[in-house]
Amino acid sequence: MDEFDFIQSIKPSYYKQSSVVKGIGDDGAIIRPTFGQDLVITSDTMVENVHFSLDYMSFEDVGYRVLAANLSDVAAMGAVPRYYIVNINVPEQISNEELVLVYQGMKELADSYRVDLIGGDTVSGKEFSISITAFGSVSPELKRNRSSAEDGDIVFVTGSLGDSGYGYELLNRNEVDFNNYFVKRHVRPEPQVSFVNATEKFDRISLNDVSDGISSELNEIAQASKTNLLIEWERLPYRKELNELDEHKLDECILSFGEDFELVGTCPEKDWELLKDKCKQVGITVTNIGRVLASTKDQPSVFLHKDGERRVLQSSGYQHR
Amino acid sequence: MDEFDFIQSIKPSYYKQSSVVKGIGDDGAIIRPTFGQDLVITSDTMVENVHFSLDYMSFEDVGYRVLAANLSDVAAMGAVPRYYIVNINVPEQISNEELVLVYQGMKELADSYRVDLIGGDTVSGKEFSISITAFGSVSPELKRNRSSAEDGDIVFVTGSLGDSGYGYELLNRNEVDFNNYFVKRHVRPEPQVSFVNATEKFDRISLNDVSDGISSELNEIAQASKTNLLIEWERLPYRKELNELDEHKLDECILSFGEDFELVGTCPEKDWELLKDKCKQVGITVTNIGRVLASTKDQPSVFLHKDGERRVLQSSGYQHR
């Protein structure tokens, strides 16, 4: 497959978003932004053997996962994903046919949310790495920032925590059953796009996606909002299978491994019941895991209440760099 | 310098573009597109020792050059550049201090056109590569596509051709004088942003930037517009210093090396004199290098008239992949 055939094979036959004036095929793409909507732009790079591995992921999985991480960032900004751009650095041992599979993995996820591939660049290098820039639209009046948390808010998280970390643990034990729920959650995480649609009527929700672990994400909210957060360990939602882990490993999976791509945030107490109902209607479970506390003059902190003790939860999320 | 200090050192203290609602610091950036303007999005990846080399470029040069290539693509879409996003894969032998220099090189170019850095991602890998996504705005009624060429149009090019290729040749001869005009043109090419402002009143200009060499760029215009182009070798603008090259090398520098980041395009004959004048006012020379010929049913072609012969100019631009 030559360069021309490669581009033809990844170029969409039509664009789902009517705002795409010009997609792939010129020096750049052109979009016509919807009047009254802001444009959210997120960008993430993943490198082979740092952020993903071909040892236990197919080329399709790799594409799916990199796009999922980006759409998760878009969702964490309260935005509906619209388009994406892909830059790939490909070593020569990867064929164009294999590269097309990476794009097919992305397309599989993109199609389910009507998101369009509108451009990018493919270059030859020595290390396999993928950068995606994703775009979403959001109403300017919606507050979905990390800095939107206020005293008395409920702290919530969607879905269950630690699934991706436990899946990774299973893979490392060479228990590689690719139909295993936890392995799937690690290899093909699902961005919480439906949360955005379900909550579009709510004025204020502070929001972050669980990419680096909730300890890190919660600290970002506390610092940006200049508030303290109190989290109840007993309320943290996780699957019973994780109880086979020792305490250290369990803590790591739940608090700091991340990559679950769930959403963590806060909302006013008055909105909590309705938020739960709206999410339930789209199949998303949200769990009340704690409270926003009165802001202090000290360094904003996250406290974890566990085994009768209140300890400070450091921002110890796993850092790739 | 740790991660936090690094981000602080590259984060702008303010944004020049009032349309930036939120820049660096959350899961994504937010921009408020100007009503009635389309958004142009371009993206380019450059890899060390494929697209640039630290042997003869400083870290600032590398940043400058990668952004220049992207702003050139924005200009080739007839758009005014507004923002950019940077994804970098950094090997451990490059320090955060050196990485900051890469961003400073970008900033130097960006500041001269009031372009804002609004986001990105930095990851650790083995190979030094940089992806930039750049954004510009353009009025929807302006036609600046490769497909806009029509029979009878003048074919033009800005500036002089072959400067970058000749600079690269000098570097390979180890004649490394970094104040040499040609070396500078290779290391720090200038995107033709002023052309966009000078020509904003013209309805139709087909346009491409000379990244892969004019033989390749002209063929793209011919194919997209389904026309033939006739180019006169004697009119191609190049500096007299290049005459020391043998014929093969001269052809290569002028026709296929590329990386001059000049603009090549076509405009209606009636607009030609005014276009020349408008460009002259902003210090840009444009040269009439040929004609668009009546379209044929055959494969669209570019013909080069040289030494009394008319030959087909293949799309032989140097392909990095």
| Domain edges within chain A | 3-138, 146-312
SS3 B47: strand
User: Contact, B139 vs B37, CB < 8 A?
Assistant: yes
CATH of segment(s) A3-138: 3.30.1330.10
Does the annotation place A305 within a ligand binding site? no
Query: Which residue in B3, B27, B30, B137 has the most chain A C-beta atoms within 10 A of its own C-beta, making it the best mutation to test that interface?
Result: B27
pLDDT of residue B68: 97
* pLDDT at A318 (0 to 100): 40
DSSP string, B230-279: EEEGGG----GGGGGS-HHHHHIIIIII-----EEEEE-GGGHHHHHHHH
Predicted local confidence at residue B317, as pLDDT: 47
A148 known ligand binder: no
Find all residues with CB under 8 Å of A81, minimum gap 6, and list them: A71, A74, A75, A113, A115, A134, A135, A136, A191, A193
> In the prediction, which pLDDT does A319 show?
41
Contact yes or no for B126 and A131 at CB 8 A: no
3-state secondary structure of B297: coil
Mean pLDDT (whole number) for A300-305? 93
Residues with Cβ within 8 Å of residue B273, at least 6 apart in sequence? none
pLDDT of residue B26: 77
Please determine whether the domains at B3-138 and B146-312 fall in the same fold group of CATH: no
Report the C-alpha gap between B246 and A304 in whole angstroms: 74
Beta bridge partners of B231: B290, B304
Q: Do B41 and A31 touch (CB under 8 A)?
A: yes
Dihedral sign for Cα A260, A261, A263, A264, please.
positive
pLDDT over 70 percentage in chain A? 98
Angle between helices A3-10 and A96-112 (to 10 degrees): 10
Average pLDDT over residues A65-85: 96
- Does A317 have pLDDT greater than 70? no
CATH class belonging to A146-312? alpha beta
At A3 the pLDDT is 75
C-alpha–C-alpha distance, residues A49 and A127, integer Å: 10
- Across the interface, do A47 and B125 touch by the CB < 8 Å criterion? yes
Q: Which residue has the tokens 């439906």?
A: A194
CA B264 to CA B213: how far, in whole Å? 10
The answer to whether A236 and A162 are in contact (CB under 8 A) is no
- Identify the pLDDT of residue B175: 66
What mean pLDDT comes out for the span A70-99? Answer: 95
- The beta-carbon contacts of A239-247 under 8 Å, at least 24 apart in sequence, are A239/A160, A239/A162, A239/A163, A239/A166, A239/A182, A241/A166, A241/A182, A242/A162, A242/A166, A245/A166, A245/A169
Was B5 annotated as part of a binding site? no
Mean pLDDT over each residue of chain A, to the nearest integer: 92
How far, in Å, CA of B176 to CA of B56, rounded? 8
How far is Cα A14 from Cα B106, in angstroms, rounded to an integer? 35
- Cα dist from A50 to A95, A321, B31, B126, B155, whole Å: 21, 10, 31, 10, 48
pLDDT bin (cut points 50, 70, 90) of residue A99 is: very high
Does the beta-carbon distance from B28 to A73 stay under 8 Å? Answer: yes
Rounded CA separation A166/A161 (Å):
10
User: A7, A120, A26, A14: which is closest to B144 by C-alpha?
Assistant: A26
Pairing relationship of beta strands B80-90 and B116-124 according to DSSP bridges: parallel
A242 secondary structure, DSSP code:
G
All residues at 6 or more sequence positions from A305 whose CB lies less than 8 Å from its CB, including other chains? A230, A231, A232, A233, A290
Which residues in chain B come in under a pLDDT of 70? 175, 317-321
> Residue B50's closest chain A neighbor by CA?
A125
Q: Which of residues 132-171 of B touch A (CB under 8 A)?
A: 133, 136, 138, 140, 145-146
**What's the farthest any 2 CA atoms get from each other in chain A?**
64
Q: What is the mean pLDDT of residues A18-32?
A: 90
pLDDT of residue B321: 34
Which chain B residue's Cα is nearest to A19? B38
pLDDT for res A8: 86
The pLDDT assigned to A5 comes to 83
Residue B120 assigned as binding residue = yes
Give the pairing of strands A116-124 and A80-90: parallel
Instruction: Extract the tokens encoding A297.
Output: 């003059």
**How close B181 comes to chain A (CA, Å)?**
27
ipTM field = 0.90
